Amino acid sequence: MTSNQTPSLIHIPDLAGKVVLVTGSSTGIGAAVAKGFARTGAKVAVHYRASPDAAQAVVAEIKAAGGTAHAFAADVTQTAQVETLITQVVAHFGALHVLVNNAGGFERAHLAELTDEGYDRMLDLNVRSVLSASRFAVPHIKQSGGGSIINTASVVVRSGGSPGASLYVGSKAFVEAITRNFAKEFATDGIRVNAVAPGVILTPLHRNTSAERLEEFRLDIPMLRLGNTEECVGAYLFLASEMMASFVTGQIIEVNGGQVMP
């Protein structure tokens, strides 16, 4: 650490100056990850769909700490908007090195309640967005000399989730499966593809989860507590860094307090 750095900076030299797009980064894990990359000296594209104020607050916090960030709006369920998002990020920063596919959502619906509309909403948000963003980002990452794609999965792929979460569980299983496939497809392009699978992390995703249910989760975790967003950041930074993870691809990093141990 140099004399003009503050303790909040994260010293990962190979990430400094890299351009990182984090989808769904106005709140929750995405916001924490965006700030984490900024603390390494990376240039961060903060993406949002319907929360411009929250996204601008993330950008403002990054800039106040001496970092570089810009907010971009897009509905990642719409392929054309994803293509435009990638184009705008590259036009603004001049390159793209790391894509974090973090945008996602959850709707509870038991099997008898499933509708085609609900299916489309969940799969478009949790799956189509990953496919589209990766599709349009890969040529730019390749042109930048290689880099990394990091997808956000979930502990539910191994735990099975809770009743009514079938679409969410299935969509995150899809994300993990294509992570491994993309790792093979893009290996020779110098692009590593991995995923982070958070456990029960206190984010807006759990805004409708009852206190009783959260307590059940807590008691099922060996560390006897729920996670926070900052505790997910290190896994993303590790996977993005060539210095630390140059031979790591096709892997799922679990961040769940020991709740599930594959």
Spatial distance between the Cα atoms of 260 and 140, rounded to a whole number of angstroms: 36
Length of the chain: 262
Q: What distance separates the 2 farthest-apart alpha carbons in the chain?
A: 61
- Choice among 48, 119, 168, 236 that is catalytic: 168
Strands (E), 16-61: 19-22, 43-48
- Does the CA dihedral 35-38-42-44 come out positive or negative? positive
236 is annotated as an active-site residue: no
| CB-facing half-sphere around the CA of 236: CA atoms within 13 A | 34
User: 37: burial class by Cβ within 10 Å (0-12, 13-18, 19+)?
Assistant: buried
Which residues have a catalytic role annotated?
168
